[in-house]
Structure 1
């Protein structure tokens, strides 16, 4: 399901702070579970996509901490704060036939059952109860990603998502 137009990099999180004095960093992970980010190696750090190996990492409280190879002290770790953590798309396992990654939905056109076009999927986020499509068009719309009730069809070949959603919402 990977096409030429799909990004080569997939952002999984970012470095949010330093931890201790031995080069460890705090990691904001967008994977589920949060510690899952440690399963992907190497990480592509920052917009320059510099590959970095994770020397060690673990869950810590409600977050994740890691130490990258070559990062031996707090000063080196501080230089990484705010940098994105990405991987090559090819590092992701292929989704099952009934699954897809959020990144696969980004850029798809959203239309309702009456053919009204709302715009394109900018990104998604989770509320805990369900995921939400952020659709940018004539205005921003937040559409719950709830199969059957709201989401009627995802057509990757046609580049669209059909929804049961009132254009006034």
Structure 2
């Protein structure tokens, strides 16, 4: 279970070279800023790493993690998500949100009827989509995360209000 005050900022894609470096994917708006948010933690908080970026590689960076000194140790971390303390991350403008803050929010329509909850935030290149799952839905609904479709995000109230296009939610 991830500590609620941590946000996923990247993932280890595997080893790079033979000296314990890793291939690092950054999920940060400014990819190289991932090193500024260290120490980074595993999802369970059991391990933490200081990070030194050593170069750019396809899809990310080559990086040295504290305590990782062999190719085998780097290989063992493949697929590990890395989390930063929220306090180390920059504040966001009012119209931007960390994905972690959106997951789990109730999704209600403009009449106040709950449709479901945000299960995931997806991005396939054309903007963010909220995957919404609820008891009245036959299948998950992908809701475009735009101001027109989701005019209100109320983090304090634990909900967002949607005005979905006609026919999107049956």
Same fold (TM over 0.5): yes
Q: TM-score, normalised by structure 2?
A: 0.84
CA displacement 1:62-115 (0-9 Å, x = unmatched): 322211122222122122222221111221122223332222212211111233
Q: CA separation in 2, counterparts of 1:134 and 1:167?
A: 12
| Residue of structure 1 equivalent to 2:83 | 86
User: What's the CA shift for 1:135?
Assistant: 1.1
1:121 aligns with 2:118: yes
Q: Structure 1 residues 55, 155: CA separation in 2 closer, same or farther (over 3 Å shift)?
A: closer
Cα deviation code 1:95-142 (max 9, x no counterpart): 223332222212211111233321111221113221101112124111
2:107 aligned with 1:106 = no
5+ long unaligned stretches in structure 1: 1-5
TM-score (norm 1): 0.84
Within a 5 Å distance, the mapping from 1:16-165 to structure 2 comes to 16-138=13-135, 139=137, 140-148=140-148, 150-165=149-164
Unaligned stretches of 5+ residues in structure 2: none
Q: What secondary structure sits across from 2:151 in the alignment?
A: strand
The answer on whether the counterparts of 1:110 and 1:120 sit within 8 Å (CA) in structure 2 is yes
